[in-house]
Chain A
Amino acid sequence: DAMVIQNPRYQVTQFGKPVTLSCSQTLNHNVMYWYQQKSSQAPKLLFHYYDKDFNNEADTPDNFQSRRPNTSFCFLDIRSPGLGDAAMYLCATRVGASTDTQYFGPGTRLTVL
C-alpha cells in the first residue's frame, strides 16, 4: 500500500546529541512537511518542501534543519536537542494544491534525556 513511513517510531537521544528522523513516501507527492506536536497541543509546522524548494516557518528554531535528497525521502535533523524538543514529530505529504489532503505518517516520538 502507498503510504508515509517514519523511522524510527521511538527515538531516545541525550541532551545536545544530534539526532536525525526519517520520513519516506511511496505516494510520489510533491510536498513534504515536518510538524512538531507536543502533548495536548496543535501540530506545529516546522518547514516543508515543495519539490526541492525549502520553506522554513519563521519561528522554527535554527536548531532544526531538513534535507530532501529525492522525492521519496525527507529528513529532520536536530543539531543539539534540548529537553524542550521532546515531542511527537509528524511527517506529511501532499500532492500539490493547498486543498489537497495531507497524508500523515505515524510519527516519531522523541525523548531527550
Chain B
Amino acid sequence: DQQVKQNSPSLSVQEGRISILNCDYTNSMFDYFLWYKKYPAEGPTFLISISSIKDKNEDGRFTVFLNKSAKHLSLHIVPSQPGDSAVYFCAASYNNNDMRFGAGTRLTVKP
C-alpha cells in the first residue's frame, strides 16, 4: 500500500535552472510532510518540511508547496546547482504516527 508516490524516478536539469520534484499522497490524514536528500553511500538527510496548516515553506533555494485538495506537494530548487544532484525522498506522517516514504526521485543537475 504505497501511500506516498513519487512518479518520476529521475529528473535532469541544467545548472542555474529550476528543479521541480513532485510527490502525491493518498492518505488525507497526513498532516506533516518532509523532503529528504540522499547522496550515494550516505543515509538520507532532512532537507525541508511543511505542516498541513501551510501551503508553502521556504528555506533558501528550497521551497516546498503543498496542495491539500490535490494531495500533492512539490519541492522547488532555484537555482539548481551540481551539488544538488542526489536522490530526493518525499515523506509524510500524521497524528504521531510514523513516516511513510516515496520511492525517491534522482535529480541530476548538469553543469
Contact = CB atoms under 8 A, between A and B. Distances in A.
23 contacts: A33-B98, A40-B103, A41-B103, A42-B2, A42-B89, A42-B103, A43-B44, A43-B101, A48-B98, A92-B43, A98-B32, A98-B95, A98-B96, A98-B98, A99-B49, A101-B34, A101-B46, A101-B49, A102-B99, A103-B46, A106-B41, A106-B43, A107-B43
Nearest to B90: A42
Interface string B81-111: 0000000010001111111111110000000
A40 B9 CA distance: 8
A97 B9 contact: no
Contacts of A99: 32, 49, 51, 93
B77 interface: no
B42 interface: yes
Contacts, number: 55
Contact of A102 (B2, B46, B102): B46
Interface residues of B, number: 27
A87 interface: no
B101 A42 contact: yes
Contacts of B96: 97-98
A74 interface: no
B8 interface: no
